[in-house]
């Protein structure tokens, strides 16, 4: 079905080829997983298979790409689109309309199909993803998992013979992730098409016993079964791409003393809706706290409340004895560092160095000691040599590290992280976690919203689990997982 021969591609302005001499043959009914670190060429490979790479992106291409006997490089994109569908990472960004029905019908309407046929195909596509009940809904009102189901239905409606998923669950919580992989399994069963999934979360794919194609630096470094690759990686003492993090060690310890965080009966409303209700807890110095829960359960609201960016509608929040209602955010920011979810939303300066010292300059505390600390942090994050470069020239993983450096630079006591591991390959994620563990070891407190049970199990001393704005679990991580198990929240449990 798919044949790649000596495929290479180098984006304009780049010295490194994104794809280098790729040879790959895939049969019509296969289930293939493409894995590898960020920037290894996985997404470029997906774009090449759709033909979009050769039409929309400037660069030098060579080699052969055929799908279903069609030379993708020489055919119009629309011909290829009849055979290959691509579901991208963030469903939100790929929607072209405002309602579910319009979105699923969009591609069919563009193909000028008659109304009756569109009606039939929309119903079929929604049925295959289990989304018939969503048909009349506005896209903006859907949950993350529902949005991704609609994005899949929109592609399935065109009846492709190849469906490519580019990290379809990277923005989803474990419950929604399991749901989406369930949909993919159903598609495999009912539609009998070739499915290619680009994914870091290999644990969810194990039941499919897929063929694994592992990539590194634009090359294929492994092509075989997932099970064999995982076995090989363990034997060699290394890490499978997307597999478990390699850094050993127990969770952080808890330090006694005056609490860094004190929350009493916290309730917060956003947009007329109660997002948090009746939350009370204390967090001490030297704790690494993982905050888990489905998307929309109140995790981000909780973190924003700790910095004082959201004020309590009821109750109160104190950080190091300061009431967030009485203290301006600029004062709180000296005590609390906050890393937001999207790295691009928090890069404000025009060089790596200025970005790293941005907060310290704003707070007018940039002295020699801070500069030395920033230099050390940048060096540790392998960014010191790039100190004069523009932050937007960095890779995703490097941006994430820079985000971290820039909130650690002024030495906050409390570090808040909102889903910072999303989109990071295991090596980058492990690096960030190592840095955080270092801070916790020095007595700082880390509160981290996180979807990955493995990370929580390995790194966190304590687990908070939110559901519909209520704090359902607040316990040491091991006990917390037991409580989640008792509640039937299996998607949130680590393996083993």
Partner 1 sequence: MRRSRRARGTARIAYQPGRSILHRLHPLVKGAWLLVGTVLVFVVRSPWAVDGAVAVLLAASVLAGLRLGRVRGVRLLASTALLLGVLQVAFVHEGSALVDWGPLAIFSGGIEAGCYVAGRFLCVVLLSYLFVLTTEPSDLAYGLMQAGLPYRYGFALVTALRLVPVFEEEGQTVYCAQLARGVQYDVRSPRQLWNLARQFFLPLMVSALGKVDTLAVSMEGRCFGAHDGRTFLREVQVTRMDQIALGLLGLVAVAALVARIGG
What residues from 242 to 281 belong to the interface with partner 1 (CB under 8 A)?
264-265, 267, 269, 271-273
Helices (H) and strands (E) in the chain, counts: 18, 20
The verdict on 385 binding partner 1 (CB under 8 A) reads: no
Could you say which residues in the range 213-232 bind partner 1, by CB under 8 A?
Answer: none
The verdict on 140 binding partner 1 (CB under 8 A) reads: yes
Closest approach, Cβ 109 to partner 1, in A, equals 5
For CA atoms 70, 76, 77, 82, give the dihedral sign. negative
In terms of CB distance, is 137 or 468 closer to partner 1? 137
In terms of CB distance, is 290 or 347 closer to partner 1? 347
In terms of CB distance, is 221 or 325 closer to partner 1? 325
Q: Which of 470, 474, 433 is nearest to 452 (CA)?
A: 433
Closest approach, Cβ 132 to partner 1, in A, equals 15
Helices (H), 22-67: 42-50, 52-56
Binding mask 394-413 for partner 1 (x = CB under 8 A): ------------xx--x---
Read off φ and ψ for residue 426, nearest 5 degrees: -55, -35
In terms of CB distance, is 369 or 478 closer to partner 1? 369
Binding residues for partner 1, total number by CB under 8 A:
82
Could you say which residues in the range 304-343 bind partner 1, by CB under 8 A?
Answer: 304, 307, 309, 311-316, 325, 329-330, 333-334, 336-338, 340, 342
Q: Which of 112, 49, 45 is nearest to 85 (CA)?
A: 49
Helix axes 368-380, 396-408, angle to 10 degrees: 150
In terms of CB distance, is 162 or 433 closer to partner 1? 162
Compute the C-alpha angle 212/14/86, nearest 5°.
Answer: 40
Closest approach, Cβ 271 to partner 1, in A, equals 6
User: Among 61, 113, 472, 493, which residue interacts with partner 1 (rule: CB under 8 A)?
Assistant: 113
First to last CA, the chain: 38
Could you say which residues in the range 353-382 bind partner 1, by CB under 8 A?
Answer: 358-359, 362-363
In terms of CB distance, is 29 or 265 closer to partner 1? 265
User: Among 97, 327, 351, 434, which residue interacts with partner 1 (rule: CB under 8 A)?
Assistant: 97
Bridge partners (DSSP) listed for residue 266: 279
In terms of CB distance, is 1 or 477 closer to partner 1? 1
Closest approach, Cβ 355 to partner 1, in A, equals 10
| Cα–Cα distance, 147 to 158 (Å, whole number) | 18
Q: Which of 172, 158, 169, 200 is nearest to 33 (CA)?
A: 200
The verdict on 41 binding partner 1 (CB under 8 A) reads: no
The verdict on 422 binding partner 1 (CB under 8 A) reads: no
In terms of CB distance, is 105 or 220 closer to partner 1? 105
The verdict on 241 binding partner 1 (CB under 8 A) reads: no
The verdict on 107 binding partner 1 (CB under 8 A) reads: yes
| Cα–Cα distance, 121 to 259 (Å, whole number) | 58
In terms of CB distance, is 284 or 412 closer to partner 1? 412
Could you say which residues in the range 47-66 bind partner 1, by CB under 8 A?
Answer: 47, 50, 52, 55-56
Closest approach, Cβ 259 to partner 1, in A, equals 14
Could you say which residues in the range 65-84 bind partner 1, by CB under 8 A?
Answer: 77-78, 81-82
| Cα–Cα distance, 357 to 15 (Å, whole number) | 30
Residue span binding partner 1 (CB under 8 A) among the ranges 21-29, 58-66, 105-113, 195-203: 105-113
Closest approach, Cβ 305 to partner 1, in A, equals 12
Instruction: Map residue 185 onto helix, strand or coil.
Output: helix
Q: Any idea what DSSP says for residue 495?
A: P
Q: Which residues are within 8 A (CB) of 27 and not within 5 positions of it... i.e. 6 or more apart?
A: 1, 194
Instruction: Map residue 452 onto helix, strand or coil.
Output: coil
Phi-psi region of 13 (alpha: psi -120 to 50; beta: other; left: phi over 0): left
Burial of 114 (C-beta count, 10 Å sphere; 0-12/13-18/19+) = exposed
Q: Which residues are within 8 A (CB) of 187 and not within 5 positions of it... i.e. 6 or more apart?
A: 128, 129, 152, 156, 163, 193, 195
H or E element: which one contains 464?
Answer: strand 462-467
In terms of CB distance, is 88 or 177 closer to partner 1? 88
The verdict on 154 binding partner 1 (CB under 8 A) reads: yes
Closest approach, Cβ 249 to partner 1, in A, equals 29
Read off φ and ψ for residue 272, nearest 5 degrees: 80, 5
Could you say which residues in the range 155-174 bind partner 1, by CB under 8 A?
Answer: 155, 158
In terms of CB distance, is 77 or 472 closer to partner 1? 77
In terms of CB distance, is 349 or 475 closer to partner 1? 349
Closest approach, Cβ 163 to partner 1, in A, equals 11
């Amino acid at each position: 079905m798919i044949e790649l021969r000596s495929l290479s591609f180098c984006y304009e302005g780049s010295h490194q080829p994104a794809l280098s001499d790729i040879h790959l043959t895939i049969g019509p009914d296969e289930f293939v997983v493409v894995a590898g670190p960020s920037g290894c060429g996985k997404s470029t490979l997906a774009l090449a298979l759709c033909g979009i790479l050769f039409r929309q992106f400037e660069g030098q291409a060579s080699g052969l790409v055929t799908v279903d006997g069609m030379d993708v490089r020489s055919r119009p994109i629309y011909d290829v689109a009849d055979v290959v569908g691509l579901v991208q990472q963030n469903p939100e960004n790929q929607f072209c309309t405002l309602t579910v029905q319009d979105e699923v019908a969009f591609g069919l309407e563009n193909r000028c199909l008659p109304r009756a046929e569109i009606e039939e195909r929309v119903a079929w596509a929604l049925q295959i993803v289990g989304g018939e009940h969503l048909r009349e809904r506005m896209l903006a009102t859907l949950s993350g998992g529902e949005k991704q189901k609609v994005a899949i239905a929109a592609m399935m409606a065109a009846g492709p013979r190849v469906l490519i998923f580019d990290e379809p669950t990277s923005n989803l919580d474990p419950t929604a992730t399991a749901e989406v992989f369930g949909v993919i399994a159903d598609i495999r069963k009912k539609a009998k098409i070739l499915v290619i999934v680009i994914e870091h979360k290999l644990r969810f794919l194990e039941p499919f016993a897929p063929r694994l194609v592992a990539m590194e630096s634009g090359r294929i470094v492994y092509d075989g079964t997932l099970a064999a690759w995982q076995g090989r990686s363990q034997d060699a003492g290394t890490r499978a791409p997307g597999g478990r993090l390699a850094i050993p060690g127990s969770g952080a310890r808890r330090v006694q003393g005056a609490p860094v965080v004190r929350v009493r009966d916290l309730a917060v409303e956003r947009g007329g809706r109660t997002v948090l209700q009746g939350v009370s807890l204390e967090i001490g110095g030297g704790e690494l706290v993982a905050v888990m829960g489905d998307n929309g359960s109140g995790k981000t609201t909780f973190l924003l409340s700790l910095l004082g960016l959201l004020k309590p509608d009821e109750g109160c929040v104190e950080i190091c004895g300061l009431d967030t209602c009485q203290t301006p955010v600029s004062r709180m920011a000296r005590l609390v560092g906050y890393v937001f979810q999207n790295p691009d939303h928090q890069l404000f300066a025009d060089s790596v160095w200025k970005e790293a010292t941005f907060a310290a300059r704003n707070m007018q505390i940039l002295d020699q000691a801070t500069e030395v600390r920033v230099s050390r942090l940048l060096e540790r994050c392998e960014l010191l040599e790039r100190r004069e470069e523009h932050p937007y020239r960095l890779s995703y993983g490097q941006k994430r590290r820079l985000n971290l450096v820039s909130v650690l630079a002024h030495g906050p006591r409390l570090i808040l992280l909102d889903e910072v591991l999303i989109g990071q390959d295991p090596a980058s994620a492990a690096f960030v976690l190592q840095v955080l563990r270092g801070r916790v070891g020095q007595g700082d407190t880390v509160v981290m919203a996180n979807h990955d049970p493995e990370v929580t199990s390995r790194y966190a001393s304590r687990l908070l689990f939110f559901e519909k704005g209520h704090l359902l679990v607040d316990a040491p991580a091991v006990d917390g997982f037991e409580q989640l198990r008792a509640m039937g929240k299996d998607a949130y449990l680590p393996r083993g």
